[in-house]
Structure 1
Amino acid sequence: MLLLCVVFSSFSSIVSAQSQEKLKVLVVGMTHDHVHGILQFHKQGRVIITGIVESNPELIERYKKSYQLPDALFFNTISSALKATKPQAALAFNAINEHLAVVEACLPQGIPVMVEKPLATTLEDAKKIEALSKKYNTAVLTNYETTWYNSNHYAKDQVDQGNLGKIHKIVVHSGHEGPKEIGCSKEFLDWLTDPVKNGGGASRDFGCYGANLMTWLMHGKAPKSVTAIIQQYKPAVYPKVDDVATILLEYENATGVIEASWNWPYSIKDMEIFGSSAYFHAVDAQTIVQKKQQSKPISGMAPAAVYGDFISYLEAFLTGKITDTNDLSSLSNNLLVVKILEAATRSAKEGKKIMLD
């Protein structure tokens, strides 16, 4: 992970000394429905929320009632929250184009930030985040659900150990019936279906998963080119953004296929890896299928991964236990994710292959 050995050399000692204490976090924004996760952890007593930054009164009242949150926990601005509290990290649950502002407020005070995927809507914003991380020697992480899939970590082990032979193709499917169809909140839909606030539709919301996993499996190597077909199957439902995308990544000796959609009949997040001597399918978080040449497929359950959720990962990161510079949540990985997604948007708009530097 970018600057891992340096970014938290001083901070990790503080966290280590407090290893028996609950992690203290600042929640920035509540418009992302994934905020339910951290609120549940807080309700269960697993973490301590030192403050919540949110300005929408209706949203505040709804969550106060649902999770029995006191008035004193809420702040209108990040600066006021940081003056009154001392979190160990800030977690951003707001629109993607607002991530930069969270980083700008927290990093100068040495507060690391974890944002929900993807890192940013534009490569320009992503590079600004990188510059701030370097300047203030403080990390910015990106959270993906698939980071906690045991099947994906087992797949990476199989690739790294050479058990699949040379990797020729990786296919990642990510999507569901659509955010409106599955009942996402109005506040979430307002920015998720906005081309500026989200950067796009399904191509960004779900395309990032494939780019993240492929960058990880390819050990941080960028593809040579990106080619994309980005469409609207439901313009009446999502008039401003795309709802389906197919993105092709061309590597030196391999191809990546990212299939992202808000149109599938069920929710899916899986990954297929075709090697020269074996095939691997991470069917879901736990289920795997493997097949070698001239043999029957073998199905089973993946061994347990080290980190089961974003909080256990964050705790491990803050105590210096994670040192992978190409980790799934790393800044280096997610800078490339944004670069790939921006190239995909351009490819679909211009109708041509986009060569990457």
Structure 2
Amino acid sequence: MTRPFVLVLAAAAFLAAWLPARAQHSTPPLRLAIAGLVHGHVSGFLRAAQARPDVRLVGVYEPDATLLKKYAQRYNLADADVFTDLAAMLDRAKPEAIASFTNTYDHPVVVEAAAARHLTVMMEKPLAVSNAHAQRIRRAAGQGGIQVLVNYETTWYPSHGTIWTLIKERRAAGDIRKMVALDGHAGPKAINVQPEFLEWLSDPVKNGGGALFDFGCYGANLMTWLMDNQRPRTVTAITQQFQPDVYPRVDDEATIVLEYPTAQGIIQASWNWPFNRKDLEVYGHHGLAIATGGYGLRVGLPNEPEHAVTPEPRAADERDSISHLIAVVRDKRAPNGLSSLDNNLIVTEILEAARESARTHRPVALARE
């Protein structure tokens, strides 16, 4: 091999490595703003965003000046980047996307402000406290031509991604017959959530309910996904107060039953579990998959006794909410099924019907489309 040819090969190898790296380096970080600081998940999100080179936090809005100051000091936020007025933040900071950590009742206000400026919004679950609020969000998103994403911790679980591959893509268990979601913890006060978080979680207006909305949304989201956005025929729910002295205005225990033409969904949402849990069971015609948290998974199939399975790693843009948001804003993909507005409009229908069923002690039939 001649020396000039060797040099050409070396140069080609260098360019092959250098060009993608340069392209990645030349992509500016996502200009991200945060709207609201009263949701307890904001602390973890702030830490994650500040640690990423592909994100630049350009503004934080919170109407409570005392709370805003506390977070500004804790996370070393510059005075120029914190605002007590949402419109002022959006107009001065000029973000590309907004992550909302308000109470659920205020979600439409954030989306409407974002839509007027054509900005993508990602909010913490659930989408809305009512169908009326959900439709405000839908209309604003349509008028502004924006994406609205709803973030659930369970969306990024490798165990759930593997269940989708097994049950939906491979159809290894046959048609789905029953789904059971078990979500919750010992209660927001028992686990010492922030005072500002507890205040609205236990407010039936700002939260839509108690455990019913706080944890019932997880199962509704996953079941809507597994049923390909099919709306259930009926929703039947029971809510109770096992801790009325702690949560006098909202339920702390809820069970929801979803009736589909060929399947049932059972959602157990609780602020009374003796431990934290986000578990999902899916039973098909001839198989099952049971996820315990993000990494525990057991599978039983014909000629395969129930056994543990190691979940498959998620794709890079499905591993966490920020990576997914960046991919959506950069037009590399659409929101995934669990984060999508279409899914979460149905989730809101289910939760509102469950609230009405619990109030009337009757099943609620969802209106046919």
Verify same fold: TM over 0.5: yes
Match of 1:351 in 2: 361
Match of 1:304, SS state, is coil
Q: Which amino acid letter does the alignment assign opposite residue 296 of structure 2?
A: T
Q: Counterpart of 1:39 in 2: which secondary structure?
A: helix
- What code does the residue aligned with 1:311 have? I
Which residue is 2:345 aligned to?
335
The answer to whether residue 127 in structure 2 is matched with residue 116 in structure 1 is no
Whether contact under 8 Å (2:65, 2:84) holds in the other structure is: no
CA distance in 1, matches of 2:117, 2:331: 19
**1:287-306 matched pairs, under 5 angstroms:** 287-293=296-302, 295-306=304-315
CA contact (8 A) 2:72 2:82 kept: no
Q: Distance in 2 between matches of 1:207 and 1:165?
A: 26
Shift of 1:57: 2.6
CA distance in 2, matches of 1:355, 1:133: 27
Q: Aligned with 1:80: secondary structure?
A: helix
What corresponds to 1:216 in structure 2?
225
- Alignment partners' CA distance in 1, 2:165 and 2:117: 37
Aligned residue among 209, 229, 239 for 1:200: 209
| Structure 1 residue runs without a partner (length 5+) | 1-15
2:85 maps to: 77
How far apart are the structure 2 equivalents of 1:33 and 1:236?
22
Equivalent in the alignment of 1:268: 277
Residue number in structure 2 paired with 1:184: 193
For residue 153 of structure 1, the aligned residue among 161, 171, 183 is 161
Alignment deviations for residues 185-223 of structure 1 (CA, whole Å, 9 cap, x no partner): 000011111000000000000000000000000001000
Say what the alpha-carbon RMSD is for the aligned residues.
Answer: 1.6
TM-superposed deviation, 1:247:
0.1
- Runs of 4+ off more than 6 Å: 16-19
Query: Are 2:50 and 2:56, in contact at CA under 8 Å, matched by a contact in 1?
Result: no
- The more displaced of 294-303 and 278-287 is 294-303
Q: Which has the higher contact order (CA 8 A, sep 6+)?
A: 1
1:317 — aligned with what?
A: 328
Alpha-carbon distance in 1 for matches of 2:150, 2:205: 19
2:27 corresponds to which of 1, 20, 26: 20
Aligned equivalents of 1:267, 1:175: Cα separation in 2? 6
Equivalent-residue separation in structure 1 for 2:174 and 2:237 (angstroms): 28
Q: Secondary structure at the match of 1:25?
A: strand
- Report the identity percentage: 42
The reply to whether residue 126 of structure 1 matches residue 134 of structure 2 is: yes
Report the Cα distance in structure 2 between the residues aligned to 1:89 and 1:81, rounded to whole angstroms. Answer: 12
Question: Deviation string for 1:253-287 (max 9, x for gaps)?
Answer: 00000000000000000100011111101111012
Structure number with bigger Rg: 2
Please list the CA deviations of residues 21-51 of structure 1 after superposition, one character each: whole Å capped at 9, or x if unmatched: 2221110000101111221023324421111
- Larger helix proportion of the pair: 2
Q: CA deviation at 1:18?
A: 9.1
The residue number in structure 1 matching 2:95 is 87
Stretches of structure 2 lacking an aligned partner (at least 5 in a row): 1-22
Task: Report the residue type matching 1:158 in the other structure.
Answer: L
Aligned partner of 1:309: which letter? Answer: D
1:63 aligns with 2:71: yes
Report the Cα distance in structure 1 between the residues aligned to 2:274 and 2:161, rounded to whole angstroms: 27
Aligned-pair CA distance for 1:294: 5.8
**d(CA) in 1 for partners of 2:345, 2:145:** 17
Cα deviation code 1:161-197 (max 9, x no counterpart): 2111111000011100101111100000111110000
Residue in 2 that maps onto 1:13 = none
Q: What do the CA deviations read for 1:305-329 (whole angstroms, capped 9, x no partner)?
A: 11211000111112333346x7101
Q: Which amino acid aligns with 1:96?
A: T
Instruction: Return the alpha-carbon distance in structure 2 between the equivalents of residues 65 and 108 of structure 1.
Output: 31
Q: Secondary structure at the match of 1:259?
A: strand
Deviation at 1:56, TM superposition (A): 1.6
* Amino acid in the other structure paired with 1:302: P
Residue identity opposite 1:73 in structure 2: D
SS at match of 2:206: coil
Whole-Å Cα distance in 2 between the matches of residues 91 and 340 of structure 1? Answer: 24
TM-score (norm 2): 0.89
Any idea what the Cα deviations from partners look like across 1:320-346, whole Å, max 9, x if unmatched? 33346x710111000000000000000
Alignment CA distance shift 1:203-1:109 (3 Å) = same
